[in-house]
Every structure is written in C-alpha cells, then in structure tokens.
Structure 1
Amino acid sequence: NCQDQVQNKTNLYKQIFRLPALKYCKLSLDDSNQPELLPIATKEFSPIEHFILNSTDVLNDLNNLLSYVPHLNRLSIYSQYYSPTTQMQLYSAVLSHLTHVSLNRLDIPFDQLESMSRSLLNPIQVLHISNYSSAAYLNANRWQRLILSHIPHLRIFNILISYTLNWAENIVDFITMINKFNSLFWFKRQWFFEYYVDKKRDQNFLSFYSTNPYRKQYILYEEKDKNIHINNRKTIMNFVHQVEIRTEKVMINLQKYFPNVTELIIVFSSTEQSKNLLSNNLNNILPVNQLTKFVLRSYYDDFYKIIKLLQCIPNLHIFEIRCSTSFQDSNLISIQQSDAFRLISQTNKIQHMIIGYQCTLNEIKFLVNLCPQLQQFTIDKSDKNLESFLRCLLSNINERLNHLFLLCIASINQKETKILETLIKSEKLLNPCSLEIKYDSFDKKPIYGGKIDYE
C-alpha cells in the first residue's frame, strides 16, 4: 500500500505484472494524459486473481491490461467520468476464471457495455454496476437480451442508476420503461428493484436500484417505497450494512428490517423529528445497539437533540456531523450542565469524530468535552483568525483528549500548515511524539451514488 506520483503508467503496470506472487492488486491512478498505451501481453503474464482499478481513463487501457491477468477471478473498476472522445473498444482478452465484476460509475454508453459483455463478461456470475449518465441502462428489454445472450451464468445482478432528466424528457415515460422490470424474467431470478423520483426546482432526478438481497447501502426516501415487486410480508434485508434515512415518515409501517446494519445516516432536519424517533420508530427497522457509525447530514439548531440521539446509540465508535448548525453559546453551556450531557460524556464509546463544517471554537470545546475518549479527530478549519483558532484548538486537545493520536485538519493550505507547525514548536502546545497531524480534504460525495461493493 503506497502513494506516489506516477510519471509513466505503462512502466508501472509492467513492474506490477512481473511480481511473481501477487494475487491481489488495487491501483488508483489519475489521468496522466500519456499517449503511450500498454502493449498486449504475449509472453509475460501475472498471477493476479483480484484486480481493483480506479482511474479516469481506464477504458483506453482496459483490454490490454486484462491480457496480462488470465487467472483473474474478481475485477472492480471505478471511473470518475466517461470521455465522449473515447472510441468503442474491442475486447480480445480471455478471462475464463472471471466470476465477479463490479463497474462503479463507469459511465459508458450501453453499446460499449454490450461489446464488453460479448467477450469479457460471458463467464461471470456476479455483476455490480452503477451509472450516472445514460437512460439506456433503464431499458429492461435491452438488459434481458444482453443477459440471455452474453452473461448466461449470472446469478447476482446489482444495479444502481441515477439519471437527471432534461427539460424535454417526461418522467412518466421513464416510469413506464422501469415498470418493464416487473416481468417473469426478473421474478424467476429473484431480482427486484425500486425507484425514486426527486424533483428539485425544474429538474427531475431519477434513482433506480436493486433491492433484496444485494445492496449493502439502502436509502429510505420521503414517500413510501415504490417497490416494483409488491410483497406485503416484511422483507429481511440481510446484506445491508448502511441505511440512510431522508424523512422520519418513511419508517412508519415500513415493511423492511435491516438486521445487520452498523452505519446510520440521517438527512432530515430536526424540525421533522419527534422526541422518540430512535427509541421507537428506528428500533422497528434496525437494531440500534448494533450501530457503530452515525452520520448526521441535517440542519440542527439545538445540540440537545443530538445528545438525545446519542443516548440511543450506546456502542457508537464513529460520529460524523456533515451539516451547518446554528448553536447559541448559552445553549451549549446549559446543555453541558445537564445530567444527560454528563451521562453521555462518561459512557459514550466514540473514538473517531468528523466535523464536516466550519464550527466555532465553543462548538469544538463542547464536542471535545462530550467525547473525551477520542482517538481520531477530523475538523474543517475556521475562516476566522486562523492562528487564534489553532492555538485554542490545540490547547483544548492537549488538556482534554488524552487518548488522541491523530488530528486531521481539512481544507488547510501550505501557508496555514507552516503557521500550525510554528505554533506547535514555539509554544509546545502538543507533544509531537504522541500525535500525528495530517492535512487533508473532505470527501465530497454526491447524495446519490457511491461504490457498489462485492457480494
């Protein structure tokens, strides 16, 4: 596992493929604008069986790359975008051992996927795919022909399609097209799907995705799930590990239960929330005591409501706040004097906190007092007096967080890094041997999307 500046991708590939005992390889490469392509393998082959490739221009190299890995069993490709200048690729590599393929955000035309399926995907049994640009991926008849003709051994089909309609497209036409997934072909294979339409201003955003049992992430939307396969019995979603809730109403009478969920994301605002949300409604859809990660992406104007949320999640290890807040200092002081705050600060198991907004120093003090067991702390820097902010931050950390070993400060530039290093050295605010400081940027992922994991 290493990070370095790659000057020549072709040479890097050749060096990797010469490693005689390599079975697993994960590469993340930026577009190098390098005209030289990797030649097709003729004599040298790699023993790699599991290959993960993250690259912006992956299609240009894909066929030649795969010619070096004839023993490949699992292939995962993540591409941030598709270039319309990329020409249709012809695939000649033979991968007779390939069983699992994951194509994440590989926004290629469906024609290109069909070309890939004819040669590369024929033996696979598991396909995970996400696409964010092409309405052709919503065509059930086209998928049926492709699977029957080119992927006959497929047993798991996991799909996530997010599409933004333009002004000339009618959402009714798309729903009619999606409803064709409600046929015997899909039912016989136990492949079921749902869709959601989100209208913002003058645009419609359509999400179409697989349901039971393959998705590890599941989003509960504003309205009752529009399930293409109607089933009145409660569905047990064993494979789901992360649930995102966008409104409290969706939990009422929900015919799904998520027994293996460990991560919870809440996106609706505090004005919608009742006092007994987690203790009542949430317990009906997932085991709250099992949650180890909680992400808050909704606006809160009262931190006491957050304290109440944390009371219901006793085994929480990771706590993220990725939303703007409006907390009054007097409110924070009164909360810290409450019995609920004292109880939570003494009993919570939070070891990693991520603050994804520019909070005030008083809010940082509050959070530090709330979670004294922190080992990792990630924050966004303040736009105000940076030196004063950093001095106060480091001073509070030094006094309160005895277990902290990693501090990550996001959105900090080189000049500000020097200010921080000077503060640490000149004022001895931290023991440099006890704490590592990293300068990073927050992962700004879209609401819809994300990688689709293997089975």
Structure 2
Amino acid sequence: MTNHLEGVYQIHHIFSNINYRFQQLINSSSLRLKIIYCANISNEILRFNKEQIYSLSLNESFSINLIDSLFIYLESLRITSINSNELLLFISNFQSLPCLKSLTIKLLQCDINHSQIYYEIFSLKMLKYFKLSIDDYSTSLQSSSFNPNKQMSHLEYFIIDYQCFLPSITNILSYMPSIHYVSLMKLFYYRSSLETNYPSIWPNLTHLSICLTTWDTMFECFEVLISKIGSKLKFFSFKNYHRNIDYFNASRWENLILKFMPQLDKFYLKYTENVDRILRDRDNNEETNDFTRSFWIERKWILEIEINNQNILFSILPYKKQWFNEENLFKLNQLVISRININKYNYFIQDDINRVLNFTQIYHLEITNENLFIGLLLQITNCLFELRSLKIHSLLLEDDSRDLNLKEISILYSIHLTSQIKKIYLRNLTNIKQIDFLMKFSPYLSFFKIDYLHNLDIPSILRQINHTYLNSLCFYVPTAD
C-alpha cells in the first residue's frame, strides 16, 4: 500500500512539474503565440498574453472591444462570422495595432456600402495583405465610387471574394500604387465596362487571378481589360463560371499573351463544359483549340482534362514533374477520369472520351474510381490509341453483374498489336492475380509501381512478374513500428 501511494505521489509530482513548466513557457515574453479563438478557453490566454500573440483567428462570437493597444506584436488577424455594422466598430480599434500586416474578413452579409469598409482599411498604414469575403451574394453586388480624399493605401495583396463590379474595383485599386497581387474571385464584368478608365498607376501589378461570373461577357471585352493592365504580369489565372467556348480558344489566348502579357511566366486557364454541349459548341476550326502547338510547349504550359460528373474540366497549367516522367513535352496531355459513364448493364459509354478526343490526343490516363472492373478498363483504353501511361486506384477482376464480353476478350487478346502503354501505377494491389492481368494488358511494360500491397508478400509478387521489357519496379513498403 505504501509503495502504491509513493508511486501516485511521484506521478502527481511529475505532472505538476510539467504543468508548471508549460505555464512558464506560455508566460515567457520571448514566445510568440498563434491563437485560434474559442470563447470557452481563449479568454484567459488573451487576457494575460496579448503582448505575445502574433496571429489571431476569431471564429466565434466575440466582443468588439477584444482588440486593444496591448496587442503590440499582432501581425495577422482573421475574422469570420461577423456582420458589417459590427465590423466597422471593430476595425476602428485596429489603429492601435502597430504591426498589423495581414487582415482577412469574412462577412455573413453586407448591409452597408463597401466603400465604408475600404475607408477604414486605408487608414491602416502597416497593412500589406487584405482579403474580404461576403457569403450573401444578394447584398454584395454594388456599384459605387470610392474617393478616400487622395489617401493612398500601402496594400500589396488584395483578394476579393464576393460578386463585384469591375469599375468599382478598378476605382479602389487606383488608390493602391504598391499593389502587385490581385485576386477577383467573383468578377461581374458587363459590356459598359469597356468605358472604364484603367489608370496607369498599377506599375507593380505582377499577379492577377480572375473568376468571371457573367455569362454574356464577350472575349473582346476581356481583351480590353488585359490590354490595359497586362504588361507587367508574370502570373495570370483565369476561370469562367459560365460556359462560353470563346474563352477556351488557343489562338485568341496566344495572340492576347504575345501582344499584352510579354512577361507572363505562369498561366492557369480553367474551362468547364457540359459533356452534352461540347460537340455542338466547339469551334469548327480545330486549330483554334490546339493547346499543343509550339507556343504552349515552349512555355511548358500543359493541357490536362478531367471527366467528372456531367462536366469536362479543361485546364492549362504550368508543367510539373509527373510520376510517368514524360520526356517528350508534346506528349504530356493527361486525362483524369473521376466518373465512368456506364449504362444499366455496366457497359462503358464512350461519348465523354470521344468528346475529349475532338479537342486533343491523350497520352496519359488516370482513373480515380476504386475497384475498377477490368472489362471497363479494356474498353476505356481501347479508345485511347496513343496512351503511354496509366494510373489506377484499384482493380476488380470479377464483376458480380457481368463477365467479360466478347468485345473485351477480343481487345485483351489483340492488345499486343495496339497497346503503347509502357508505364503503370497501381495504387492498391489486392489480389496477386491482378499482376498476371496487368502483364497481359501491357505487353511492352517497362515501368511498374505499386503503393499498397495489402499483406501480399513481395516474393510472391515477383514470381508473378515475368516480363521481357520491364526494367523498373517500385513498391511502397512501410517500415515496422
């Protein structure tokens, strides 16, 4: 009994020391704190440690008097779930923060003119980064003038996540001579915007992201905007919420970049199309949609396509090294299938892929579906004659609803005449027989990678691999605990 009590005392003493040391650490003046506010537990920390906090996120209801002059090292502040009237009162306290450089605000709705918010923001002399989000679109779409009595802001990063009119935003930006990063996540751009004056006071603008929300904005209107502000851009990202095929025209983008964005280094373009409309709306001149011409390849801007639900997402993005390590930059086009279109008999409907092939040839394929039936795999790859690599999540050798049909069996037996697949990446190997199928499926396989073996032993796997051309084999083997 005595020994037991001594053990309890020692444990109590150890934890008391840990608590004491932790409290000493918290109270150390040299320690800087990053706090995510929770009303139940954060009040005491804030009360006694204001001078140590450098980053603060206010995600719950809080007092608008929470911020005061004792937050002398506060550099980053994030505010969510606040209404606009409370916000104005709250921001007035920020004048006492000598180090505040980053401010992120998320409003549930905005019942005031946005200009009132920007007047307050412009008074924060140290602020470099500002992001404003508004959830309720119906209250966010305003068109108003802004004149801060010639007061200039030192902001460098400006992110707007609400539906905004282009003239209003350009008016605000005209008072930000140091701005070089602008993201307009829901831009409302109408024809009369062509008359907007784009001041030449944006000499430092190098990063621009735009997501266009208007369905009827012609590409010509957009060209006017870029012709005025694009000369120094090094990074440009564009997405159109509404499906206007004019915004996925390779020739028009090529001309626009050559004329008005000569310094552009990184280019991101996203275009989403409903699968039922692609053939109907596509440009009759196939060359206009050729994103594999030398202009794009020389800049290493690569085409990637994803089939997902009822949409096909086309993306142009800077090249980054992929697992398949393709050396020929003209053969980097990749298709990702997140949804396989099948009929009630579990047979593949190839309309989606046919639509993709109307735009470009595909050399690399990734299928994210789990337990992909090999019959569907055979049908899909049979449509892609130029396929060089394949990445799949997991395979299913047998399907409860059906067996391999005659067409699929014919594809498998003649695949040595047609297949160009030389690299396969299998995320999950669940059955040793899947190895045998993949060896037959890709007779010229030179690279084979498996992530998870699921208790299958490597010697058994190696015995299944008997392949003339295979010269690289990769397994992921987790270390023992």
Provide the TM-score with structure 2 as the length reference.
0.50
Change in 2 beyond 3 A, CA 1:137/1:253: same
Deviation at 1:391, TM superposition (A): 12
Identity %: 8
Determine whether 1:297 maps to 2:238.
no
- Cα distance in 2 for residues equivalent to 1:292 and 1:189: 28
1:89 — aligned with what? 42
Q: 5+ residue gaps in structure 2?
A: 1-14, 143-151, 258-263, 316-328, 374-392, 397-425, 427-433, 453-481
How far apart are the structure 2 equivalents of 1:144 and 1:387? Answer: 64
> Is it true that 1:221 corresponds to 2:164 in the alignment?
yes
User: Superposed, which structure 2 residues align to 1:70-81 within 5 Å?
Assistant: 71-73=30-32, 75=34
| Mapping for residues 15-164 of structure 1, pairs under 5 Å | 42=19, 67=26, 71-73=30-32, 75=34, 87=40, 89-92=42-45, 98=52, 100-101=54-55, 103=57, 106-111=58-63, 115=66, 117=67, 122-131=71-80, 133-135=81-83, 138-145=86-93, 147=94, 152-156=97-101, 158-164=103-109
Q: CA distance change for structure 1 residues 191 and 180 in 2, over 3 Å: closer, same or farther?
A: same
Q: Secondary structure at the match of 1:91?
A: helix
Displacement of 1:213? 0.6
Q: How many residues align?
A: 338
Cα pair 1:301 1:325 within 8 Å, conserved = no
Which protein, 1 or 2, shows the higher relative CO under an 8 Å CA cutoff with sep ≥ 6? Answer: 1
Aligned residue runs from structure 1 range 334-353, under 5 A: 334-336=284-286, 338=287, 340-342=288-290, 345-348=293-296, 349-351=300-302, 353=304
- The equivalences for 1:53-452 within 5 A come to 67=26, 71-73=30-32, 75=34, 87=40, 89-92=42-45, 98=52, 100-101=54-55, 103=57, 106-111=58-63, 115=66, 117=67, 122-131=71-80, 133-135=81-83, 138-145=86-93, 147=94, 152-156=97-101, 158-164=103-109, 171=111, 174-175=112-113, 179=116, 182=119, 187=123, 189=125, 203-205=138-140, 213-218=155-160, 221-222=164-165, 224-225=167-168, 235-240=176-181, 242-244=183-185, 246-249=187-190, 250=193, 252-255=196-199, 257=202, 259-269=204-214, 271-275=216-220, 277-278=222-223, 280-287=224-231, 290-291=234-235, 293-301=237-245, 305=249, 308-309=252-253, 311-313=255-257, 315-316=265-266, 318-322=268-272, 324=274, 327-329=277-279, 332=282, 334-336=284-286, 338=287, 340-342=288-290, 345-348=293-296, 349-351=300-302, 353=304, 355=306, 357-358=308-309, 372=330, 374=332, 378-384=336-342, 388=348, 412-413=369-370, 417-419=393-395, 427-428=441-442, 433=447
Tell me, what secondary structure is at the counterpart of 2:42? coil
- Alpha-carbon deviation of 1:65? 13
Q: Decide whether aligned partners of structure 1 residues 332 and 247 sit closer, same or farther in structure 2, where only a CA change above 3 A counts.
A: same
In 1, Cα distance between the equivalents of 2:16 and 2:85?
Answer: 32
Deviation per CA, 1:100-137, whole angstroms, max 9, x where unpaired? 4253xx421132x755x579x72324223241x22167
> Which whole-Å CA distance do the structure 1 matches of 2:175 and 2:182 have between them?
18
- Residue by residue over 1:201-223, the C-alpha shift from the partner in whole angstroms, topping out at 9 and shown as x without a partner, is xx53589xx97514353468225
Provide structure 1 residue ranges, at least 5 long, that are not aligned to the other structure: 1-37, 46-63, 166-170, 365-370, 439-455
Counterpart Cα distance in 1 of 2:125 and 2:313? 56
Equivalents in 2 of 1:357, 1:376: separation in Å? 14
CA contact 1:261–1:290 (8 Å) conserved in 2: yes
Distance in structure 1 (CA, Å) of the matches to 2:303 and 2:35 = 29
Aligned residues of 1:360 and 1:382 also touching (Cα < 8 A): no
TM-score by length of 1: 0.53
